[in-house]
Copies of this chain bind each other. A is one copy, B any other.
């Protein structure tokens, strides 16, 4: 599946480390798959925060000169997928401001669902908002609370509902916390005399560090005076383990470890489960849609003992600044991203694994491609359940109206995408693959782990719409 689901962010922090900005640069680069629209780094040097940010990939926003301007041994950074509308500079993170505690910078991954409520309340107290990002809400809350930074951060954390993995930097002082349901990943690790914090562990690996600590749901870690100290900011009874299932299924990099489970291995296991549901399928080869489905395809091939093949090749130079083919070209078949290898699929009965189906258009195009390249049969297997619900936790799937799974039965989807057969996983099967991690599966089963506040209304309208 591609062009359809967008994760909204990645965060990275470096605490008391020489070249903090450069480390953050490399860290963000390895989190780039989490957001390609904008990138930014803030450093703190002698109480003063310096921010450089801009539109584009980390490697495009920064050059040597700019990186050298970012002096200091504490840094936080952010990569971002734009949310609807607001592509403006004002919303690019980190966001920094001066208040009673001095200068503070914030980065945030996720989505706060009581955002409107908080915003309104803050406005009533006289706060003004220069952008539309959740980070600005967080900055205001921290400034409105009383106490030192730690106290303020804890009070703020308690007020937020939704998905959030947040880093706050003030002076030589970093605070990291995760929402009470653990919807978005966040880990940290020791590096020499300092610390690194990251959305995904792949950012630690590129620095040669393979061990790390997951910040728990409802946990806050304070990095101060060279030490990391963890606090549970909310009663553990109010916490749960609801890691976004999509992180395992699609978002995260295969080499990352999330809540102790390696993403590639979880995906491979989902592939195996798909195979177990296919006792009677006599296919010739298994192929995955690159890159996100290659792990699941590997698992399926192993379990089913059918040869794994490379049936599709993905052009690696695809970016967003592309001139889209005109309709007449698309009608003729011009496409930029995926090509089949005809000699591989020719006259074969093919099992094609993909990670998920959103609107169905992409799957339909790929199945057509493989058939044109000569495949005899195309059996599509999806390494996740049917997506039927919108996400309110930081992922930009579509409204129900656009979700094919909310509108058609599996058989109808199969017909729409032109496959010979189609199977999905059950939510339980995904949960088993990720076991023992507890998963949010709301976009599959509609069971949101929080109240949705003002967003409930848009969901209701959405439901009425279908």
| Interface status of A238 (Cβ within 8 A of chain B) | no
Jot down 23 A-B pairs with beta carbons below 8 A, ordered by A.
A22-B323, A26-B334, A59-B317, A97-B129, A98-B123, A98-B128, A99-B127, A99-B128, A123-B143, A126-B140, A202-B339, A206-B336, A207-B332, A208-B372, A210-B373, A210-B374, A253-B313, A254-B341, A262-B342, A262-B343, A264-B310, A265-B344, A295-B310
A278-299 vs B, Cβ < 8 Å mask (1 yes, 0 no): 0000000000000100110010
A371-387 vs B, Cβ < 8 Å mask (1 yes, 0 no): 01110000000000000
> Which of B30, B98, B129 touches A98 (beta carbons < 8 Å)?
B129
Contacts of A60 in B (CB 8 A): 321
> Which of B125, B334, B373 touches A126 (beta carbons < 8 Å)?
B125
| Interface status of A95 (Cβ within 8 A of chain B) | yes
A334 touches B96 (CB 8 A): no
| CB contact list, A43-74 vs B, under 8 A | 51, 57-60, 62-64, 67
| CB contact list, A228-281 vs B, under 8 A | 253-255, 257, 262, 264-265
| Interface status of A315 (Cβ within 8 A of chain B) | yes
Q: How far is the CB of A57 from chain B (nearest CB, A)?
A: 6
Q: How far is the CB of A67 from chain B (nearest CB, A)?
A: 6
Contacts of A207 in B (CB 8 A): 332-334
A344 touches B264 (CB 8 A): yes
Contact A323:B97 (CB < 8 A) given known A339-B205, A344-B264: no
A130 touches B264 (CB 8 A): no
| CB contact list, A23-38 vs B, under 8 A | 23, 25-26, 29-30, 32-33, 36
A313 touches B202 (CB 8 A): yes
| Interface status of A446 (Cβ within 8 A of chain B) | no
| Interface status of A194 (Cβ within 8 A of chain B) | no
> Which of B95, B130, B308 touches A298 (beta carbons < 8 Å)?
B308
Q: How far is the CB of A187 from chain B (nearest CB, A)?
A: 14
Copies assembled: 4
Contact A308:B310 (CB < 8 A) given known A19-B326, A130-B95, A262-B343: no
| CB contact list, A425-450 vs B, under 8 A | none
Contacts of A127 in B (CB 8 A): 99, 126-128, 143
Contacts of A205 in B (CB 8 A): 339-340, 342
Contacts of A64 in B (CB 8 A): 323
For the complex, what is the distance from the CA of A25 to the CA of B329, rounded to whole Å?
A: 12
Contacts of A343 in B (CB 8 A): 257, 262, 264-265
Contacts of A373 in B (CB 8 A): 210
New contact pairs (18) apart from A294-B310, A298-B309, A302-B307, CB-CB < 8 Å: A22-B325, A25-B323, A26-B325, A26-B336, A30-B336, A33-B317, A51-B88, A96-B130, A99-B128, A125-B126, A126-B143, A128-B139, A205-B342, A207-B333, A254-B310, A265-B344, A298-B308, A308-B308
Chain B residue at smallest Cβ distance from A341 = B255
| Interface status of A457 (Cβ within 8 A of chain B) | no
For the complex, what is the distance from the CA of A340 to the CA of B208, rounded to whole Å?
A: 10
Contacts of A67 in B (CB 8 A): 323
| Interface status of A225 (Cβ within 8 A of chain B) | no
| CB contact list, A79-108 vs B, under 8 A | 88-89, 95-100
